[in-house]
Chain A
């Protein structure tokens, strides 16, 4: 049976080099199309019977420029990350992390959180898989915080829509929050606050089944990349359109001085307010970044906007409800408290510096 796992019957596949060529050709065409987005959006906007420099004109132009831009950036990056992720798996990551000391383990864990395939719908099995294999609780949390927060979709959209400096800041501080929050949770020794049944698995002799690794060719990896693109578009396109629509409204209609008053650096309460607002909002990076772009463009303070973005992505109500199956409410409260404090700190820090 194991022989069939390593060499399943297959129709004669295209050789890898055909795929390599195909990918290169795709990237070239992508680049050429990408260069034409501004003229194309102006051309479409000109078809509408509206003045180009009116509020409506600004909003429409923003929408028709940003929608294809976001979609194209997503396609390329999600594909690339799908291929990269095929080299990682939760099983490999667990093996790398199990028994690792806290501190170094937290740093490792947050980094692996970026490249390991993860979906919040499997947060519970992953959590148990980690903890039962001897990955320390705090190290597990570093992973769980970093995995959704520091993701390629967020980073690339930030680079493309806002600028690489903001993306770099987001990457560094997102990782820092994951590392420090996990470290603190580890130091608090809250293993007793897991749900009882999780502790039983933890202390019991249950060693997780080891699945046989099967070999993936580059063709398989490209296919996984394409699958990742298909999946993200079937799942998130609504949010992207909504996000860009919101961004366009802000861009076209919200007056500059209003945004500076509400979300400018002078309003200290804007950072906690942004974090609070972010929790019940459940969208992903793709949906929130057009809003971020529009807010920054209207003079909202960088720290406030980053806090809002991190809160929306990292502290989501649905994920907490899922985690409730393994964590007691007290532990979830600590988790939220520690992460929210980290986000607040980042927000205030940036509003003071910039």
Chain B
């Protein structure tokens, strides 16, 4: 079970990023728990400066814009 956090104040791209994470995990058959972090304070504390940001098991792997689909699959299956 991977714990995934998607950081974003609620813009359209952040929702898309969250959906991408869920879809990719489902396609790969990886069990994930996705948490959406919208509090600006928490986003800043995590070191995310451009949203959406994605952290997997506490490690920030992506910030700013939508993640590349192939790279996302790589992170999730690692």
Contacts and interface: CB of A to CB of B under 8 A. Distances in A.
Say if A and B assemble together.
yes
Task: Identify the 8 closest CB pairs spanning chains A and B, nearest first.
Answer: A8-B74, A209-B47, A208-B47, A128-B44, A129-B49, A121-B11, A124-B40, A90-B49
In the complex, which range does the number of interface residues on chain B fall in? 20 to 34
Contacts of A320: none
B44 A5 contact: no
Nearest to B54: A211
14 contacts: A5-B75, A8-B68, A8-B73, A89-B63, A90-B50, A117-B64, A119-B50, A122-B51, A124-B9, A125-B48, A125-B49, A129-B47, A208-B49, A211-B61
Contacts of B11: 119, 121-122
B34 interface: no
A126 B49 contact: yes
Nearest to A93: B49
A206 interface: yes
Interface string A91-102: 100100000000
A183 B50 CA distance: 24
A294 interface: no
Given A94-B49, A125-B50, A325 B40 contact: yes
Contact of A211 (B9, B43, B45, B63): B63
A24 interface: no
Nearest to B12: A235
A288 interface: no
Given A8-B70, A91-B63, A220-B68, A118 B50 contact: yes
Contacts of B75: 4-5, 8
A117 B47 contact: no
A210 interface: yes
A197 B41 contact: yes
A326 interface: yes
Interface in A176-234: 197, 201, 206-212, 214, 220, 223-224, 227, 231
Interface of B: 7, 9-13, 40-41, 43-51, 59-66, 68, 70-71, 73-75, 77-78
B65 A227 contact: yes
Given A9-B73, A125-B40, A211-B60, A227 B49 contact: no
Contacts of A130: 49
B38 to A, nearest CB: 11
A11 interface: yes
Nearest to A120: B11
B25 to A, nearest CB: 15
B68 A4 contact: no
A201 B44 contact: yes
A206 B50 contact: no
A238 B7 CA distance: 28
A109 interface: no
Given A89-B63, A129-B49, A212-B61, 14 more contacts: A4-B77, A5-B71, A9-B70, A9-B74, A90-B64, A119-B51, A121-B10, A125-B7, A125-B50, A129-B48, A209-B47, A209-B60, A223-B68, A227-B66
B63 A5 contact: no
A229 B68 CA distance: 16
A281 to B, nearest CB: 21
B42 to A, nearest CB: 10
